[in-house]
Amino acid sequence: MKSKVFFLIVLCGLFAQSGCDDADDCIVYDYDAPPAAPQGVYSVTGDHAVYVHWNGPYETDIVEYVIWWSSDSMSGYTEIGRRSALANPNRDLIYYVYVVTGLPNGVKYFYAVSAIDAAGQESELSAEPVSDTPRPDGWVTLHDIAVEPNLTGFHFETQSVVPKLLADVYVDWFDSIYYLNAANTATDLQDMGFTSDFDEISRAPLDGWSNLGYVEIIPGHTYIIWTDDYHYAKMRVQLVNSSSVTFQWAYQTDQGNTQLVAPSDRREKPVHGLGYLRENNTTISNK
């Protein structure tokens, strides 16, 4: 097992050979230092999986990278895999990724990467504090509540399509607009805007929650949900048609954990009154 060490190495070349001058035959030894540790290490959260990314050092003789994990951020790291290095004669910046699979959802681990050169020398572990907690994800189609009331809502914990009364969020149509609605006043929503893909939003925000319990559904937008039992989820709009909306979703089973792709202290949720839910402000109607 390995531990993380944070320090600065300063190499000073000191050549002090007594009786050796320019005319003498002197032997100069070339010290081949161990490689630098990989940098820019970060992770992307998956379903029973974690995607570990890093930048290779600007060195020509790296042959392999070792991926490590631990339940502690500073010690107890054990090897979980290796990734061959690409040839780098020009000392370019090369990006790598390693997928750790078969992980339990809702369990946090810390990750690090080391580099091995052609001489078999290994670097220190990467310095970045990287932790990840896998979570389930999937796809779901929800229908306008006025058309299919039993197929309108989604319950993240059970990963099931349910009626509004059993849901965390549900879908309805009003004045030619689809809305994603909080199913109760203790569920919070936030529109994160257009995202190029599902993994672009990797964490729930700390603030900025809507003062209204409904948001307009827009193709390509990602929405963060803070459920009434202090779990975080996200939904990205993939398809909108005449009677339903298809989302890609992810749900963090570790309570209070903002990581949708580190745990945080349990924060107080905003308190909302009767005007929070749209059904109390406008009449839900079919198209």
Q: What is the pLDDT of residue 5?
A: 60
pLDDT band at 257 (very low <50, low <70, confident <90, very high): confident
Enumerate domains of the chain plus CATH numbers: 39-132 (2.60.40.10), 137-280 (no CATH)
Are 94 and 63 in contact by the 8 Å Cβ rule? The answer is no
SS3 (DSSP) at 166: helix
Which pair of structure tokens corresponds to residue 59?
């060195």
Q: For the residues 253-273, what does the mean pLDDT come to?
A: 71
Task: Please compute the mean of the pLDDT values over residues 113-132 and round it to a whole number.
Answer: 96
Return the percentage of the chain with pLDDT > 90, whole number: 74
- Predicted confidence (pLDDT) per residue in 20-68, tens digit: 455 455 444 344 789 999 999 999 899 999 999 999 999 999 999 999 9
Whether residue 280 has pLDDT greater than 80: no
pTM > 0.85: yes or no:
no
CA 208 from chain centre, in angstroms, equals 20
Q: What is the rounded average pLDDT for all residues in the chain? A: 87
In the three-class reduction of DSSP (H, G, I as helix; E, B as strand; rest coil), residue 280 is classed as helix
- pLDDT value at 286 more than 50: yes
* Radius of gyration of the chain from its Cα atoms, rounded to whole angstroms: 26
Phi and psi angles of residue 151, each rounded to the nearest 5 degrees, phi first = -125, 25
CB atoms inside a 10 Å sphere around CB 175 = 8
Residues composing the chain: 287
**Mean pLDDT (whole number) for 87-106:** 96
CA-CA distance, 156 to 136, in Å (whole number)? 9
Residue 284's pLDDT is 53
pLDDT digits (tens, 9 = 90+) for 176-232: 999 999 999 999 999 999 999 998 998 899 899 999 999 999 999 999 999 999 999
How confident is the model at residue 267, as a pLDDT?
61
Contact 45, 261 (CB under 8 A): yes
DSSP assigned state of 122:
B
CA distance 73 to 132: 11
Greater confidence (31 vs 272) lies with 272
Which pLDDT score, from 0 to 100, does residue 226 have?
96
| pLDDT on residue 3 | 78
In Å, what is the CA distance from 99 to each residue of 52, 81, 82, 102, 276? 6, 9, 10, 10, 42
Give me 67's structure tokens.
């991926």
